[in-house]
Each structure stands twice: as C-alpha cells, then as structure tokens.
Structure 1
Amino acid sequence: MTNKTKKRFRFQMPTAFTILFWLIVLMAVLTWVIPAGAYQTNSAGQLTTGTYHTVKSQPQGIWNVFMAPITGMIGNQHTVGAIDISLFILVIGGFLGVVNQTGALDDGIKVIVDKSRGHEKRLIVTLIILFSLGGSTYGMGEETLAFVPLLTPVMMSVGYDPIVSAAVIMLSTRVGDLASTVNPFTTGLASGIIGISPGRGLLSRLILWVIVTGIETWYVLHYASKIKADPTKSLVYHLREENERRFMTATNSKATGSITKVQRRVLLVFALTFGIMILGLVPWTSINAHWTFFESLNHLIVTTPILGTIVGHKMVALGSWYFNEITLLFFFMSVVVMAVGHIREKAFMDAFIKGMQDLLSVAIIVGVARGIQVVMNDGKITATLLHYGEKSLTGMPKGPFIICAFIFFVLLAFLIPSTSGLAAATMGVMGSLAHFAHIDGSIMVSAYQSAAGLVTAITPTAGMLVGALTLANVSFSVWWRWTAKLIVILFCVSCVFLVILTLL
C-alpha cells in the first residue's frame, strides 16, 4: 500500500457537529425502541418523582432528525430554544473582538513578561493565575496560542523548556475551565439549560479554583526547578538543539512590550465588564434575604422621574440578571470600548463582526446539541430514560451518585471536546437526574465543568491544545507523560470536592 493510500484511509476524529448529529440520529432510533412516557410536574415546572407513566409512542423520522437542530435553536412546545444563549455567545465574541482590536490584552501580557525578566518563578505564578482566571471567567482558550512563541524563548533563556511555557499558557486555561466561576461557555450555558442562575454555587467554585490553580502552580514550579538544576531531566532534552534554533532568535529573546494609556483604559473597561457581570449574576437575596442593596438602588433609579425615563423603567437589578441582561452588558461595553479606545465606526463594526464570526461555530453548536433534547422530548423518551435513572439511583448515596455523574461527563467529553456542545447535549437530562437524587443543580454544573476542563487538557480532539503543543514543539506522548500525575491528582481532588458539596 502506498503512502498516499495510507493517508487516504487514515482515521480522523469527526468534528463535534458530526458527533452531535449522530447522537440526534441515535436518539431518533431509540424513540422506535424505548417506550414513551411522561412525568407530572409541579407549579415550577419541575418533574415530580414517582409520577412516571407510559404514554402513546411518538417515533421520530428523517424529517424530525433534520428539523431537530433548527427547533433546538428556536424552541417548540416541548423544548426551550437556545437562541438567547447563542445570541449571548455571539455578542461576547463581538466584545472580545473589539477589545482585541486595541491590542490591550496582547500588550498587557507582553508587559508582564517583559517586567518579570530575572524573576521567572514569579512570572510563572503570575501568568498561571492570569490565564487560569481567563479560563474561569470568560472561557479563555484559542486566543492564548499567540503567547506560546512569545513566552517559550523567555523560559528557555533562563533554563526551562517548552513544556513549561505550554503548561503556563494552555494548561492554566484548562484548570481555570475545570473550576469555572462565571465562564459563560460552561457555567453560564450549563446553568441556563437546567434553569438556575449562573451565580448559584459561585463561592464553592471559587474555592475549587483556588485549590486546583494552587496545585497546578506547585506542579509546574517543581518541574521547572528540577530541569533548571539538571537540564537532562527535561522530557524534551533530546530536542534541545532544535528548540534553540527554533525559538532562541535575537528578536524573540529580546521581545519587549509596552502599553498605552488608551489600552490601560480598555483593560479597565474589560475588567469592569466582568466585575459587573459577576455582581449581576450572583443571587444576593437568595444568599441573604437582607442583602437588598442592588434591588433598592435599582428601584430608586427607575422610579426617579427624569433619570428613570432616561435609563429605562425595565432595567433589572443586579443579582437578578440572566442571559438577556448580560448580553446587553457586553453589547453596551463594546460601545464603551469603542469610545475609550478611539476606534472608528467602521473598524469597530469590522472587529465586532469578526469577533462574532470567531464564535459562530460555538453559537450554532448550542442549537445542534439542543436538537438531541428536541428529539428525545418530541419522541417522549426523555421521561422514560429519567425513570430508568431514577430507579437505578433510588437509595444511592449522594456521594457515589455525583462521582458516577462526574465519570460519565469525563467519558463523554472525549467524544464531545466542545464544552458548550457537551453541556447542551447532557445537562438537560443530568439536571433532572440531580433533582431526583436531591442534589443541587449547581453541584451537577460543577461536575460537568470539572470533567470538561480535565479532559480538554489532554485530549487530541481539543484544537486549542493541539495548536499550543505544535507551537511549543511538544509531542502528545510527552505531554501525556508529563501531565499524567497532575491529571490523576486533579481527578481525585474533583471527586472529593464534589462529594463534600453533596454533604453540605
């Protein structure tokens, strides 16, 4: 067999869209096999345990399969559409596009790198925290690839290796994603699917973020110190000469960065935007009934005759926000960035549209994945599957249940490396199962995002990881060998943490 023939038949992992579509087909086939059923619901629309009963079968055909992604986006009488979530994803993409138009994020990182020369351990700690925060708050991922060729020469010049730079940049975002606090693509999306506020469980996720980020920092620093003391301990020592030729150019080794006053203002707006989003999503009155400051302030503003008319009488108080409100926030802040960044109208629109285009696939995949739920709901097998789960979970302690859910998410994340696709495909069912097991929905969200962050740190189906390792000249076999112990540690920590949450 010739090399061309071998290449022709080489297996390639299908995209998340293809995997999700075949899952829709699988669910449609199951509607012909699994008995149809339904549950009674309470006034809040939640399923009532112990009320399952069989109903007339509704098998789904070819028309239903191809209509499912469309219905998943716009919704029908059985399934809430994903259009609000998809629109939010597009708008936040536009916001990031406008911010990136000013170069504020890139140059901000460059300044940190430049000022930390001679203090590389401090640089490692600082960047791990920043990239982890980025992953935890707004889903930082692919945009970090540009920093790999920037940071690698710096790390090599002080005796480290490309593994360190890849870990500091890419692994940190995955650890941040594992413990997402308000990441709209994981926490926000998963919470929206099961109908809870993204701010619910924020404190526990923040604690987990501190723990796992601390573990990663220790792991990276331990390896960096070891190979600096003895370069032969590096897992890529055999590529040392090649990497020196590849990265240690005069230009790269002396790369510096500066930040303008305009970029400082843009970064301030950037930080303020996510700060306001956090304030808006945290259910303050649910945490403490006496915490009514934002509601009182909102009432004062909207009822003040002239001010209320200017602002708008339908303004929602911080703490009661959902996807519509945070979409408005990012849209409004995009205009603010345009103003403080002195961006012309055409450049603003080009950057905003380009940013939306970058996240278009993410926005669409939400609707495609929701199509799975559409077929299950229209075929009336969702309740039956939940009934099977209810029976199997009856009597199971909360701890073992949440660990089983976590492992389920881990296994499925290898097939669906898109965190948004994984959430849309699974959270509808898993949220209901959590309700049956008397586990708070926010804990199920934590189980999902912990699995997603963990898997995207090692799976070759994650494009951002493949790109980062390619840029750093690190093979997957070496990466797996280096991350093995850390992944096991993070897996165990996640399990213990989830169990503790079920006991509180």
Structure 2
Amino acid sequence: MTSTSATAAPRRLRFPTAFTILFGLIVLVAALTWIIPAGQYERVLNPALDREVPVAGTYAPAEANPQDVFDVIMAPIGGLYNPATNEANAIDVALFVLVIGGFIGVVASTGAINAGIGSAMTALKGREKWMIPVLMALFAFGGTTYGMAEETLAFYVLLIPVMIAARYDAVTAVAIILLGAGVGVLGSTVNAFATVIASDAAGVPFTQGIVLRFVILGLCWLACVIYVMRYAERVRLDPSQSLVYDRKAENEAHFLAGQQDGTPEFTGLHKIVLGVFALTFVVMVWGVLRGGWWMGEMSGLFLASAILVGLIARPGEEKFVDAFLNGARDLLGVALIIGLARGIVVIMDAGRISDTILHWAELSVAGLGEVAFVNVIYWIEVLLSFFVPSSSGLAVLSMPILAPVADFAGVGRELVVTAYQSANGIVNLINPTFAVVMGALAIGRVPYERWLRFMWPLLVILTVIIMASLSVAVVVG
C-alpha cells in the first residue's frame, strides 16, 4: 500500500496575504520600540494642511515607551478608533470604503457595466482593431474612478474569443483588459481605494495634484494603447509573432468551440445608470473643491446615489439591499486592512519611534534635490508594492511616514501621493502576489513568464513617463 504522504501532491508555497504581512509588521515594529531610541520633533500648525507638522532640525531624544503584547493586540483597534483618546483614526475612511462598495454592488447588479462594455464590443465587431483603444479607455475609466480590478475577471471569457476570431491572440485580449484597468489605477484621479485614502493619510485633499494625475493617466494610457495595437497588428499579419503561438491550435479549440453570443442588451436603463455612476464622481470632485466635503459627505453622496440607482432600476427592496450588502461585503477586507495598516502607525507613535524614523529619513534625503527626492520616493514605493500589493494597505502604511518627509525636502505632499499610486499601479501590472494578474493569465492561458516578456519594454516606457512627469511637476511647482 502506498502511504498517504507518498501520494499526496506537494504543497505549493503561497505568498502571505496583506493581512498577515501587515500584522507581522505590527509585531516587528513593536519589537523595534525596544531597540530604536525614542525621540520627538517640535511641531507647529501648518495652515495649508490644517494640522501640526514637524519642524526640521528640532528632533530631540524622548523617554522610551516600548510596546508589549497587549499593545500589539490593541493596535488594529486603535488604527480604526482610539478609545483612550476618543480619536477616530480610520473609521471614517473604512466606512466610506464600505458605502462605495455597496454603491458599486448596486450598479453592477443592474448589469449596466457589463452591458456597456459588451455594447462597445458588438458595435466594433469587424473593426476589432479599434476595439483596443475604446475598450482600454472604458476599463481605464473604471480603474481611475473606483480601482476596477477583480471586476475585470468576468470580461476575459467575453473578449478572448472575439480577439482570437479576429486573428489576434489571447495575449492581446488579456492586455486590453489588464492594462486598461491597470493603467487607470496607475493614473488614479478620484479612485477612493488609492488616491483618496492616500491623500487622507498624507493630510492633503485628494484634489491636490489631480492635474498631474490626469497627465500621467493620459500619457500612460496612450503608450499602452499604441504598444498593444502594434503587437496585435504584428500577430494578425504573422501569427508566428504571437507569444503563445505554440498554443494557437489549442487556444482556438478551447475558446472558439461552441462560442455563443452572450452579449447582454445595452438598454436605455443601462445608459441612465451609467450616467448616474459617472455623475456621482463628478459631484464628489465638485463637493471636495467647492463645498469642503470630506469622508462623511462623500459617504452620504454614494449612499444617495445607490438609492437613486435603486429607484431607477427598481430591483425590489430585498434585491437592492442584497446588492448593496454584497458590494460592501466584497470590500470589507479593504476596510479592515485600513485599520490594520494604521495599527502600525499607532504602535510607532505610542512607542515614540515615529519621529526617530522620520529623523533618519530627514537625514537620508538631506542634500537631495527636489527632483531626486520625488524619484527616490517613487522607487521606495515600487519596492514596497511587491510586498503589499493592496493599494489601500500600502497607502495607509507608507503615507504617514513618507508624506511628512516631503515637508523637509520642500516637496508638496500631493507629489508623494502621486508617486505612491503610480508605483503601486505599475507594479500591479505584473505582480505575482496580485490575484488579479494571476487570475487573468490563468483564464487567458498565458504563462506568467511570457507575460513578463510581453510587458518588460512597456514597463520601461511607463517608468520613464512617470518619472519624467513627477520631475517636471517638481520643477514647475
């Protein structure tokens, strides 16, 4: 008889989740409070930020306050809400995430998003070449407004057969969706899960720096469209140029066998719902710029918009509530990550090592010009993104430390936010720890190493665009 251990398949090592990484960092930081000397800066009120900021050159040692096991357990709670001081840390952000999740769930339940993209695919059938910029623009809109990621997985089974039938390949289809939504996240403008959360953690309105983010979004989107169209045309003219040419017959048999036209009808109702969806984000930007809105008002806006969509679509009270709760449930993990990540800052502040680390950062950028500083920040965020692929998790982890350093370097905090989101977005186009990347490649039957071969020239191009944009913004600003 063969033993169970002999027949069992070897267990595959899996990269830990963002929750495990962040809790591990809380433990690590608590241990560091026993090692790193405590210290503090003098602080003054910055009227532009409406908060106290450290004064460069005023760092001094302070009495140590090492953190113990109890402090570690309480840190995620304090990250959301600190009962000792009655101070809300991230509960308003977490609530906003849950409400916007409910709003997206209600919109998605109407089928408007699927029908809208499906309609574009149908309208361009026979002119598939022009599907590339149109669809990449639609997916980029989803990425820049609400961080469209996991939602894209439903579209691969629709688009891949269309592109293969048009004499392109699976890589082209995967690139249209993955790069389309990904470049939208890279150039986030009003993305609540990247730009808004990061700006809040950095202590600046998310509308600061929005022009630069539009520039990065436009230039990177154009670069991706040209790159994908050039590759697609090479494959159409010479199928052997496909990176998955050895799988051509197999993929055609798999994706085209029994192909059905399952594109949903794009009704007037769908158009109205998508109009409300887009208008909501416009109103959000207006409210922040003109009305002084922040998390509470924005949460109310998305709640009202969800109700409005429900009144328009009339799914029934029970289905509306289920859709809202399911959407919020999908983002519950994001809300918890926000508290967990801010728990790291709670430990650092309580252990009085935040200012010490800030002091070291101040010394490390001393002598760096403003252009060099913002590009160093970008590469720090690139490195961190491999370990914390979650945009919201990385935002609340890195912004409280890196944003104040910008004050010492004479660089606007909004540029640090832009450097963060661009770095996180570009890494998550290839990040093997990001489930969306691996899921997309699995559906498209594209081996990971071939995706890297397809992507590396584009990554160089995007990096040059981002670094040049950040550098010019520093000089002009």
Q: TM-score, normalised by structure 2?
A: 0.95
Supply the distance in 2 between the matched residues of 1:349 and 1:120 (Cα, whole angstroms): 39
* Aligned match for 1:453, one of 425, 429, 435: 425
Alignment of 1:297-316 (within 5 A): none
Alignment correspondent of 2:263: 256
Amino acid of the structure 2 residue aligned with 1:229: L
Asked if the contact 1:114–1:257 (Cα under 8 Å) also holds between the matched residues in 2, the reply is no
Alignment correspondent of 1:15: 17
Supply the distance in 2 between the matched residues of 1:488 and 1:41 (Cα, whole angstroms): 41
Change over 3 Å in CA distance of 1:326–1:3 after alignment to 2 = farther
* Aligned match for 2:317, one of 328, 340, 345: 345
Identity of aligned residues (%): 41
* Aligned match for 2:57, one of 50, 54, 61: 50
Supply the distance in 1 between the matched residues of 2:423 and 2:168 (Cα, whole angstroms): 30
Supply the distance in 2 between the matched residues of 1:141 and 1:410 (Cα, whole angstroms): 19
Alignment correspondent of 2:48: none
1:417-444 CA-partner distances (Å, limit 9, x unpaired): 1111111111100011111111101100
Supply the distance in 2 between the matched residues of 1:154 and 1:497 (Cα, whole angstroms): 36
Alignment correspondent of 2:285: 278
1:251 shift after superposition: 3.0
Asked if the contact 2:385–2:424 (Cα under 8 Å) also holds between the matched residues in 1, the reply is yes
Alignment correspondent of 1:27: 29
Q: Aligned pairs, how many?
A: 467
Change over 3 Å in CA distance of 1:72–1:221 after alignment to 2 = same
* Aligned match for 2:214, one of 203, 206, 209: 206
Supply the distance in 2 between the matched residues of 1:182 and 1:202 (Cα, whole angstroms): 8
1:77 shift after superposition: 4.4
1:250 shift after superposition: 3.7
Change over 3 Å in CA distance of 1:146–1:78 after alignment to 2 = same
* Aligned match for 1:193, one of 183, 201, 220: 201
* Aligned match for 2:457, one of 485, 492, 499: 485
1:257 shift after superposition: 3.3
Asked if the contact 2:149–2:436 (Cα under 8 Å) also holds between the matched residues in 1, the reply is yes
Supply the distance in 1 between the matched residues of 2:99 and 2:59 (Cα, whole angstroms): 40
1:496 shift after superposition: 1.4
Alignment of 1:320-339 (within 5 A): 320-339=292-311
Supply the distance in 2 between the matched residues of 1:30 and 1:78 (Cα, whole angstroms): 26
1:179 shift after superposition: 1.0
Supply the distance in 1 between the matched residues of 2:55 and 2:87 (Cα, whole angstroms): 18
Change over 3 Å in CA distance of 1:166–1:83 after alignment to 2 = same
* Aligned match for 2:115, one of 107, 114, 117: 107
> Secondary structure of 1:332's match?
helix
Alignment of 1:404-443 (within 5 A): 404-443=376-415
Alignment of 1:396-407 (within 5 A): 396-407=368-379
Amino acid of the structure 2 residue aligned with 1:411: L
Supply the distance in 1 between the matched residues of 2:286 and 2:217 (Cα, whole angstroms): 18
Amino acid of the structure 1 residue aligned with 2:272: R
Alignment correspondent of 1:59: 66
1:150 shift after superposition: 0.1
Alignment of 1:126-145 (within 5 A): 126-145=134-153
1:256 shift after superposition: 3.4
Runs of at least 4 residues off by over 3 Å? 1-6, 75-80, 254-257
1:313-359 CA-partner distances (Å, limit 9, x unpaired): xxxx2xx2211111110000000000001121111111100000011
Q: TM-score, normalised by structure 1?
A: 0.90
Asked if the contact 1:79–1:373 (Cα under 8 Å) also holds between the matched residues in 2, the reply is no
1:19 shift after superposition: 0.5
The gaps in structure 1 that reach 5 residues or longer are: 284-293, 295-316
1:488 shift after superposition: 1.4
1:232-253 CA-partner distances (Å, limit 9, x unpaired): 100001111111111103434x
Asked if the contact 1:79–1:374 (Cα under 8 Å) also holds between the matched residues in 2, the reply is no
1:79 shift after superposition: 7.5
> Secondary structure of 1:64's match?
helix
